[in-house]
Structure 1
Amino acid sequence: MSGPQIVSREDWLRARIELLAKEKALTDARDEVSAARRALPMTPVEKDYRFRSASGEKSLLDLFEGRRQLITYHFMFDPSWDEGCVSCSFLVDNVAHLGHLNSRDTSFAAVSRAPAEKIEKFKARMGWTIPWVSSFGTDFNYDFKVTVDESVAPVEYNYKDKATLEREGLTHHMSGEQHGLSVFFRDGSNVFHTYSTYGRGPDIVLGTYNYLDFTPLGRQEVGTGIMLFKHHDRYESAADGPSCH
């Protein structure tokens, strides 16, 4: 049998208590980081970003839906693609009922460069109801470093410039669509950018991963961390979704 070592109940309890101490230390560290994140300064959003949606044009302020906070997920969906990124789809599958966020004065929206028509078609296919708008034709993705095109702006992803990405072998982040999560705060009609995270930063919101982390087999990923999940409507077929890169 492939799995953890088999031991007596007494030995298991001893090992579990040792692990509990590490878990408590991790919880304390996470609370400390969360407090530091909340204390980050914020910077004004100067541009009047305009997005397209099924219900018409929307401003960044509109995405708040009257609430004080806005979380945007930068969903990888290139205008030339017919469906959204598999990994980004996995994240949206893990978005909880938005009523809970809304009750804490917080709105959520996904943003992609794909045209609104493609977004709506894919959104219907996936059965999602989250707000999702198109940033096609705007600077939004470039300004928030989730579309990398050196002809438009200097290469940067996850706060690393081109030279750093090359040195660290992260060349797949040097062009095209990337994912991330950005947070905004509203004071009246004034909008401020408070936080953005990329790479594994949004990992904490992936409930499926957190459940699997409780189990002996864990996330069951390839050694490189390549996503093994599919679009959720493809588990009954042999067809895999497109790679994000």
Structure 2
Amino acid sequence: MTHTTATREDWTAARIKLLAAEKELTRHSDELAQQRQQLPWVRIDKNYTFDTDAGKASLADLFQGRSQLMVYHFMFGPDYKAGCPSCSMIADSFNGFAVHLANHDVALQVVSRAPLAKLQAYKNRMGWTFPWASSFGSDFNFDFNVSFTEQQQRERGIDYNFTREPKWEWREGQEGGGTGPVAELAASSGIDASGYTRERPGMSTFVLEDGVVYHHYSTYSRGVDGLWGSYQWLDRAPLGRNETGIWWRRHDEYKAPQAAAVAACCA
């Protein structure tokens, strides 16, 4: 990528011009936030059961005494050997802000379909402390369109992100088949691409009022970009996201930076 150079005065003029566009985006983002808050609530009458560190829990129990609940739908199916690397990168920031949400009447809860013991082992590996519940055996993930059956996938295509996807076809050498980003992420999770994509990422919010739980909002796919803290930083870096493929890893899978290795060697 080629960039121009400039005097400080020229840079300041260009930055002020960009600032006007940034302010417009901020105003639009504020308007969207208000539109989200104005969405109607949908009463939840179905009894969902979750496995948590404290035992069996209902959806209302996940609020932990708060009036609002935010659920991150983490891709970790029952057959996965490890959690999705992308979801793992997103979840790395949860420890830091979960306590702030909890003190603002909002409970943060991560939910996946893998059995609780598998989630606990992975959580311990990653060094995470946020609450993570298993919806294994429950319809919760299916009802909120983040988990799908193989029959749905292969016979009619799944409904994800408010759009019907085509039926699944394994095409060797194409993305989502034998090679490509989806296959790479799937292999990293210890599962084939078809099984990997039967779980999807998302975020849903709920309200508890007078003992009744209501569904307020859900977002999927790139709708969770705003929760992906590393990308918010990269979007402000000199070269931006600067991606040519799947570059990220679980935080314990990166090789030690060469400079640090040299420093340790020469100490």
TM over 0.5: yes
The amino acid across from 1:220 in the alignment is N
Match of 1:234 in 2: 253
- More moved, 40-49 vs 149-158: 149-158
The amino acid across from 2:111 in the alignment is V
Contact 2:150 2:198 in 1 (8 A): no
Deviations 1:91-128 (A, max 9, x none): 11022332210121000010001000000000000000
Q: Does 1:157 align with 2:160?
A: yes
**Cα distance change on mapping 1:64 and 1:227 into 2, 3 Å:** farther
Match of 2:179 in 1: none
Match of 1:143 in 2: 143
The amino acid across from 1:232 in the alignment is H
Q: Kindly state the Cα deviation for residue 54 of structure 1 after the two structures are TM-superposed.
A: 2.7
Percent of paired sites with the same residue: 43
Residue segments in structure 2 that go unaligned for 5+ positions in a row: 170-174, 177-181, 183-192, 257-267
Match of 1:103 in 2: 103
Distance 2:89 2:22 in 1: 26
Q: Kindly state the Cα deviation for residue 150 of structure 1 after the two structures are TM-superposed.
A: 5.7
Task: Specify the SS of the correspondent of 1:151.
Answer: helix
TM-score (norm 1): 0.87
The amino acid across from 2:248 in the alignment is F
Q: Kindly state the Cα deviation for residue 207 of structure 1 after the two structures are TM-superposed.
A: 2.0
The amino acid across from 1:41 in the alignment is P
The amino acid across from 1:160 in the alignment is T
Higher helix share: 2
Distance 2:231 2:220 in 1: 17
TM-score (norm 2): 0.80
Contact 1:51 1:60 in 2 (8 A): yes
Match of 1:85 in 2: 84
Q: Kindly state the Cα deviation for residue 236 of structure 1 after the two structures are TM-superposed.
A: 2.4
Task: Specify the SS of the correspondent of 2:133.
Answer: strand
Give 1:2-151 correspondences, 5 Å limit.
Answer: 4-95=3-94, 96-149=96-149, 151=151
Distance 2:242 2:67 in 1: 39
Note the aligned Cα RMSD (angstroms).
Answer: 2.5
Distance 2:232 2:44 in 1: 33
Name segments (4+ residues, structure 1) moved above 6 Å.
170-174
